[in-house]
Structure 1
Amino acid sequence: MRRGKSGLNLLLGVDKPLGMTSHDVVMRVRRSLGEGRVGHAGTLDPAASGVMVVGVGQGTRLMGLLTAEEKTYVAEVSFGVETDTDDAEGRPVREAPVPAELADRAFAERTVASLVGRHSQVPPAYSAISVNGKRAYALARSGKEVELEPREIEVFSAQLVAVAPAEWTVALRVSKGTYVRAIARDLGRALGTAAHLSNLRRTSSGRVDLTRCLTLEEVDALGAARVSERCLDPAAMLGLPYRELVGKEPTDVACGRRIEVGRVLGCDRAEEVALPEGGRVALCRADRLMGVWRRRGGMLCCDVNFPDGVEGVR
């Protein structure tokens, strides 16, 4: 099918394989579904696998709204070598002996547990952070010195999964903007050795976990005709209260006319809730998200509309 407008407007969870860039995944989904309007939320490095949220059609307009304040990972940290990219794709820049105590599970458990908390983290030089209008990784690849400002991040939970010679496997739940590569690098330095991230798998991003994700082969097999069967609920992914449109409200909403606050349900859609002033709500009609609106007094006003509706509301 020629890439253009397939009529699909939805969100997908995709299990990105190793070796592909986030852009590669977008291009693959475009070919599979015959749809040119495809985008993603939350970049994942080629050396990492796991959860990526992909928007199709008008679903691409949700990408900026999906903040995913928390992400979870399973990471392998290899000790003895630090690289310029802080992962296994980079060039070794420093080697150091690995202390014998790193092979002791009790020591490893205590050390990993101590990662929990707020930290000031310097992002990797090879990152997508903008420096004077240019990506840091582009400057680093051109041989220029890259100095990035520290940023505040938080590790909400950290557990040791396994210990092997000169390698730890850890499970992490971290705040948005956290670089797990930098955690590996800093862990090595703190332990008097060197370290880099040798493998990374994102197991969840916000409300999307691996159980809700499709492989690219599954996207291929479903195609445009059946992929809607496995799409994500856009209202649930936003984590917003829910408001069903009734009567002539769909026409008013399509024209951007204000509507009354009306009956708003909580995220679980089980009970009615009070929408605070300035609070946002997902406007839905049947199985489609029609807009994200905001309370102003006794009325709802448009933040963003989806004229065709983003399907998948359950």
Structure 2
Amino acid sequence: MSKPPRQPRRQLHGVILLDKPLGLSSNDALQKVRRLMRAEKAGHTGTLDPLATGLLPLCFGAATKFSQVSLDADKRYTATLKLGQTTTTGDAEGELVQTRPVTTEAVNPQSVRAACDAFLGDIEQIPPMHSALKHQGRALYEYAREGVEIERAARQVTIHAIDILRCDDDVVELDVRCSKGTYIRTLAEDIGERLGCGAHLIALRRTGSGGVTLQGAVTLEVLQGMSESDRDTCLLPADVLLSDWPVVTLTEPEAARFLTGLRRRVKLPDAAQVRVYGPHPVHGDDPAWRVLLGSAHIKAGELIPTRLLSPAEVQGMLTQSAPVAPEAEASPAI
């Protein structure tokens, strides 16, 4: 019996906010969705461990040019800690290393609050051996599986806030807002040590990355049950990853010059990152339909391109006719 013909891939532009399931790597999730969408070009926005669930933005076509934005963005997690036990990996996947009693004093709200507060702000973390961080071309977890310990330098990360969601017996649930590169397993272990009983992570769910959240996210199971046309409606505009950036709108002549990489003079304050639009050929200056041209920064009255879309990518997004992401801060057309 012959195999069914392979379906041709499509040029798609946009972002799907995937609610990643438990037990699937980020790349496995990406490849499954890419096949469902028949997408020609796709990428994810940073690794989410197989034992973690939640927000994983998947980029298609032109949106892949902005995947680094999500990778560099602050993150938000719901972390569930099991007190009194430490493991080889810092999470439920590892072998039990030590068990210590969890005292009433250790789990009272005041003690947990004080332990969390000790890690607010800029802190240093030593990356865990069971991580995807590379050493001489190999992931650290590969060495760990062989019983090899690699010396790791401490890295500075920032914990913006920790809210206590639940504190029952030997389980603590936290809402953590942090910078990129934060190892929540390491944070869980450190909080456990601060409480004097140890801890490991038994559940982790990413709820936010930069300006996007789980609102509007779709599960793999739901995508698999959809028709292709319904799946296409889950594709958000390519600029959704830039939705918390200020907006600069160019007139048609200025937009054409900007797309060639030329700097433009603007009467706007300095900004580290802005998203840049031109007018839609059909909908004109309607702010819901302006065309994304790329990203830029503003310095000393100059709009300096950072990432530009190609004419083919711009045309591809026009063909899809998807409205742009809402404005974070309006600016006049120039």
1:291 correspondence with 2:285? no
Q: 1:117 to 1:280 in 2, by over 3 A?
A: closer
| Superposition RMSD in Å | 2.7
Which of 110, 116, 130 is residue 112 of structure 1 equivalent to?
A: 116
Which of 96, 101, 104 is residue 100 of structure 1 equivalent to?
A: 104
Q: 1:190 to 1:301 in 2, by over 3 A?
A: closer
Which of 281, 290, 296 is residue 274 of structure 2 equivalent to?
A: 281
Paired residue secondary structure (2:68):
coil
1:234-273 matches, within 5 Å, as 234-238=238-242, 239-254=244-259, 256-258=260-262, 260-261=264-265
1:124-273 matches, within 5 Å, as 124-222=128-226, 224-238=228-242, 239-254=244-259, 256-258=260-262, 260-261=264-265
Report the counterpart of residue 313 of structure 1 in structure 2. Answer: 324
Q: For this pair of structures, how many residues does the alignment match?
A: 302
**Contact 1:32 1:223 (C-alpha < 8 Å) held by counterparts:** no
TM-score of the aligned structures, taking structure 2 as reference length: 0.80
Provide structure 2 residue ranges, at least 5 long, that are not aligned to the other structure: 281-288, 326-334
**Contact 1:243 1:284 (C-alpha < 8 Å) held by counterparts:** yes
1:44 correspondence with 2:48? yes
TM-score of the aligned structures, taking structure 1 as reference length: 0.85
Give, in angstroms, the shift of residue 182 of structure 1.
0.3
More deviation in 225-234 or 210-219?
225-234
- Output the CA distance in 1 between the equivalents of 2:182 and 2:114: 21
Report the counterpart of residue 266 of structure 1 in structure 2. Answer: none
Q: 1:51 to 1:134 in 2, by over 3 A?
A: same
Q: 1:225 to 1:250 in 2, by over 3 A?
A: farther
Q: 1:133 to 1:240 in 2, by over 3 A?
A: same
1:71 correspondence with 2:64? no
Give, in angstroms, the shift of residue 55 of structure 1.
0.3
Give, in angstroms, the shift of residue 104 of structure 1.
2.7
Provide structure 1 residue ranges, at least 5 long, that are not aligned to the other structure: 263-272
**Larger strand percent:** 1
Paired residue secondary structure (1:63):
helix
**Contact 1:2 1:34 (C-alpha < 8 Å) held by counterparts:** no
Q: 1:226 to 1:297 in 2, by over 3 A?
A: farther
Give, in angstroms, the shift of residue 66 of structure 1.
2.9
Report the counterpart of residue 121 of structure 1 in structure 2. Answer: 125
Report the counterpart of residue 285 of structure 2 in structure 1. Answer: none
> Sequence identity, in percent?
29
- Output the CA distance in 2 between the equivalents of 1:178 and 1:259: 36
Q: 1:293 to 1:159 in 2, by over 3 A?
A: closer
- Output the CA distance in 2 between the equivalents of 1:116 and 1:298: 37
- Output the CA distance in 1 between the equivalents of 2:24 and 2:157: 26
- Output the CA distance in 1 between the equivalents of 2:53 and 2:63: 22
More deviation in 2-11 or 175-184?
2-11
Q: 1:235 to 1:56 in 2, by over 3 A?
A: closer
**Contact 1:231 1:312 (C-alpha < 8 Å) held by counterparts:** no
- Output the CA distance in 2 between the equivalents of 1:220 and 1:60: 23
Give, in angstroms, the shift of residue 199 of structure 1.
0.6
